[in-house]
Structure 1
């Protein structure tokens, strides 16, 4: 593939990832309006949880199935499912319906988040990937800041083209998804893969569900149930059993496992994975809780809180794109995770001193 073809594919992949990342933030500022309109604000947590549970479970399954059947058909499937789920969600008449349709969206979102990076790995040499991965992180940053703005704008509008404003939170995904689908169909052509002598790790997938669903459920409902209540303890136990079962199954499945255990024999891979988990805790925690602090404590509107997050998002975009370019030119990457985690830790330490009038 020449540079022009690669760029068109990258645009399609970024549009797909933009859909999934945007949908994690755009609903947050609109959920109050949605809950009031559908007379079910007390069920709002399930609208978010249904999306997260299904997308989390489907992510490793997409990865394995794409190893067997190819990246392109799985990515196309993910885009189509997400578009269908978005249209269904826009026609919801109750919060239960909306949660169900959000689960359909989550099924597509699992592929939209994981497939682009896997496809990049097939297209590009390792040294070149860092340059383009910076653009993907920039897309994530942009979606994180404009998501609350778009959600607040639509939720604050009674009607757009004779359709309730909040329903456009989901309908906006349709044109973006169709554009991504068109670019992928036109420009993404990867070599066919051998489908023979490969086992699908269905038991591993089942163990992922057993492990994640109870833990996500207690994370969502634990404050209501009580963290030491029988229901919470049951979720802890089932989740831990699921994790142990998943590890045992992955060891037994060897190379056909969803996540081959032999990968962790590499100290670089293991350390990068651990850092990724810890950085994810910090980054997602900040992106979700700082806007709440701005709105609830300081009294900002959803739109204002989105603008107030711009310094963090600009820092994320500049650092991700800049470090990717430097890695591509020099081939050295070790200093960037060290510097990045150090700066993030210092920033969070400073934020622990925030007060109601900061």
Structure 2
């Protein structure tokens, strides 16, 4: 690749990664407005968790599938799915629809974030990779700051061009996604050397079976009662899902979605535990503080987004 081609590819990858990272937090500030409009505030958590679940589970699957069939087709597929998901989210008429369409969006986002770094590894010499990967990490950090602000801005607009303001949170992804798709489609032509893998589909399904019931009871437990029959059924399904996930990971060995042998390394285990704590604190703050500012302090969506800037930056 020429230097100009590499820059074109990187711009397309950075735009796509920015959109995927932005959509992890952009809904947080706007969710009260969205939920009030769609009359489903008790389901608001699913607008975010559905996106995070599908993006997390699809991320390693994209890596293995791209090793088998090539990076380019799966990256273009991820962009296309993300664009379609964004359009559907913008057209949602209920919180159930929004949660389902956010899950579709997350399937695309998982590929946008993981394959971007893999493609950089394919087109850039090893000595330069850290510099380019630093650009992508800067994009990820910027999206964490801009997400609540952009979400608050659009949610604070009653209507833009005859469309509810909050719907532009999703529609604005479309032209940027098309730009990224065009850049990658035109310039990224990688030679592919097939690497065969076993795809851990059972592990992915078992992980969903484990996570989703626990999220349901976390969301509905205060209404059902934490020891009600419905809650106990969710607990039981979650435990079965966890057992099936562990069995699948053990059976697939190094090809597993999450190879269990890694936890035998003390450094990996400590780093993973730390990442869980940091992730819980970061996403908990980014997702709940905007709602706290609006509901308790009476801030508008736009003001709440601006108030999040110093909190995110730690000022």
Report if the CA contact (8 A) 2:67-2:194 is conserved. no
Report if the CA contact (8 A) 2:61-2:199 is conserved. no
Report if the CA contact (8 A) 2:15-2:176 is conserved. yes
**Could you list the runs of 5+ residues in structure 2 that have no partner in the other structure?**
none
Q: Is 1:114 aligned with 2:111?
A: no
Q: Partner residue of 1:211?
A: 210
Distance 2:219 2:63 in 1: 26
Q: Is 1:170 aligned with 2:170?
A: yes
Distance 2:219 2:200 in 1: 28
Distance 1:70 1:189 in 2: 10
Q: Partner residue of 1:99?
A: 99
Distance 1:314 1:123 in 2: 33
Alignment of 1:222-301 (within 5 A): 222-301=221-300
Report if the CA contact (8 A) 1:9-1:187 is conserved. yes
Report if the CA contact (8 A) 2:28-2:288 is conserved. no
Q: Secondary structure at the match of 1:141?
A: helix
The CA deviation at 1:90 is 1.9
Of stretches 83-92 and 282-291 in structure 1, the one that deviates more from structure 2 is 282-291
The CA deviation at 1:173 is 0.7
Q: Partner residue of 1:356?
A: none
Q: 1:275 to 1:44 in 2, by over 3 A?
A: closer
Alignment of 1:274-353 (within 5 A): 274-314=273-313
Q: 1:272 to 1:188 in 2, by over 3 A?
A: farther
TM-score by length of 2: 0.85
Q: Partner residue of 1:154?
A: 154
Distance 1:38 1:166 in 2: 11
TM-score by length of 1: 0.76
Please tell me the root mean square deviation across aligned C-alpha atoms, in Å: 2.9
Distance 1:56 1:115 in 2: 13
Of stretches 202-211 and 228-237 in structure 1, the one that deviates more from structure 2 is 228-237
Distance 1:155 1:305 in 2: 11
The CA deviation at 1:86 is 1.2
Q: Secondary structure at the match of 1:110?
A: helix
Q: Partner residue of 1:79?
A: 79
Q: 1:32 to 1:178 in 2, by over 3 A?
A: same
Distance 2:29 2:308 in 1: 14
The CA deviation at 1:124 is 4.8
Report if the CA contact (8 A) 1:5-1:187 is conserved. yes
Report if the CA contact (8 A) 2:148-2:308 is conserved. no
Report if the CA contact (8 A) 2:294-2:300 is conserved. yes
Distance 1:309 1:238 in 2: 37
Q: 1:236 to 1:77 in 2, by over 3 A?
A: same
Distance 1:170 1:66 in 2: 27
1:269-291 Cα deviation digits (max 9, x unpaired): 44433332222122222222333
Q: Secondary structure at the match of 2:23?
A: helix
How many pairs were matched up?
315
The CA deviation at 1:177 is 0.7
1:144-175 Cα deviation digits (max 9, x unpaired): 33222222222232332222322212110101
Distance 1:35 1:291 in 2: 14
Q: 1:312 to 1:38 in 2, by over 3 A?
A: closer
Q: 1:45 to 1:312 in 2, by over 3 A?
A: closer
The CA deviation at 1:119 is 2.9
The CA deviation at 1:83 is 0.4
**Could you list the runs of 5+ residues in structure 1 that have no partner in the other structure?**
316-346, 348-358
1:118-140 Cα deviation digits (max 9, x unpaired): 33344456665443333333323
The CA deviation at 1:190 is 3.0
Aligned structure 1 segments of 4 or more residues deviating by more than 6 angstroms? none
Q: Partner residue of 1:143?
A: 143
Distance 1:240 1:60 in 2: 23
Distance 1:306 1:162 in 2: 23
